[in-house]
Every structure is written in structure tokens, then in C-alpha cells.
Amino acid sequence: MTRLDSVIRRLTAQRNLLNWAVNEIEPTGLILELGLGNGRTYDHLRSRLPDREIYAFERSLAAHPDSCPAEDYLIMGDIFETLPLFAERMGLGCAALIHADIGSGDEVLNRQLAKRMAPLIEPLLEPGGLFLADRAFDLPRCTNLSTRVGVAEGRYFVYRRAVKAEPVAHRPSIAR
Ligand SMILES: C[S@@+](CC[C@H](N)C(=O)[O-])C[C@H]1O[C@@H](n2cnc3c(N)ncnc32)[C@H](O)[C@@H]1O
């Protein structure tokens, strides 16, 4: 497989899963886009969910001007600082869908990033809320649906927060 093939397959999986998720999510709850980047997936989400509140998070703004959220819906800064503040402002369990596409080509760094992010993501999801990501996460309160949604193994990842909170041995803290 060439690198071009690989990119096309990854983006196809990403788009297919975003399309799947917008039909699966609960009728209430925020949509969070972690890593606005060029704004392509943000633009896709807002076109599919025109009536939902979508917040985009980014530390270094480089989005296409047509794909930039309004100021109130753009959260600038490192997500490890902005997500805990957002959770304080909006409340835990505020998100129906979180999409994270913030990895790099460095797999070691990506694994560290996912490990640090996991305790921030899970408490933000409402019961039944979906988390889509470009890499695997360890989320004890969520079910991993990645192999059940028609995407080749390892290409994109999907998790659903349990509807009823499951007790877990270690309660992740959202505090910084
Ligand atoms: C691959 S791009 C996202 C592309 C986007 N999904 C699109 O379709 O255009 C990843 C983005 O995540 C941002 N990012 C990475 N780590 C971040 C962090 N810790 N906090 C905030 N933004 C971050 C980067 O600045 C980059 O713009």
C-alpha cells in the first residue's frame, strides 16, 4: 500500500465514522472537535449537524477561513489546559460526541497523548455519548465499538460511554 493509499483509507474511515456517528448520537449534548487543524472534519460535522452546538479546540490556529467556528465556539490553547476548564464551565457529561484527530506521525508520542487524554475525555461524555479518535484509547467506562462499525482494524476508533455508570477501581480526575 502506498502512503497515498494509506491516507485515502484513513480519511475514508474518518468520514464514514463521522457520518455513522451523527446518526447515532443522542438528540441533546454538545459536539466537541479536538484539533481543528485545517477545519475539514469540523466543516463536515457542522454540515451534518447544523442545529447542534459544536466547539472546536486548537492550540495553533491554521484553519481555512471558511471552516473556522465563531469566536465563542473556538477554544484556543492546549487541550490539557482548556478541556478541564471547559468541563468546569459546561459540566461533566455535557458531550454527545467528541472527535479527536490530534495525533502526529510519532507513535510513541501518540500513545502518551492518548494516555494523558483519556481521563479528560471520559467524564465529558454523556451516558451513551460517542468518542471517535484517530488512535486507540483506554477508556474503562466506555465500550470499544471499533471492530463493530465496518472499519478495518486499527484505522479509526469508536467508543461509547456506558449508559449506566460502571464503578471503576480508579476514578480518573479531570483536574489539572
Ligand atoms: C491532524 S490536525 C486535525 C485535522 C482536522 N481533523 C481536519 O480535518 O482538518 C491536528 C490538530 O490538532 C492540534 N493539536 C495537537 N495537539 C493539541 C493539543 N494538545 N491541544 C490543542 N490542539 C492540539 C494541532 O495543532 C493540529 O492543528
pLDDT in tens, 93-107: 999 999 999 988 898
Whether residue 85 lies inside any domain: the answer is: yes
Domain limits for position 33? 3-161
Whether residue 103 lies inside any domain: the answer is: yes
Q: Is the dihedral of CA 79, 84, 90, 92 positive or negative?
A: positive
> Residue 116 has which C-alpha cell?
494523558
pTM, 2 dp:
0.92
Whether residue 166 lies inside any domain: the answer is: no
Split into its structural domains, the chain has a count of 1
Helix or strand or coil: residue 172? coil
Question: What confidence tens digit (pLDDT) does each residue in 123-142 have?
Answer: 999 999 999 999 999 999 99
Angle at Cα 51 formed by Cα 48 and Cα 53, nearest 5°? 95
CATH number of the domain where residue 130 is located: 3.40.50.150
Chain Cα centroid distance, residue 70: 19
Whether residue 170 lies inside any domain: the answer is: no
Decide whether any atom of ligand 1 lies within 6 Å of the 101 Cβ: yes
CA of 100 relative to ligand 1 center, distance in Å: 8
Mutational pocket test of ligand 1: of 12, 15, 59, 86, the residue with most ligand atoms within 8 Å of the beta carbon: 59
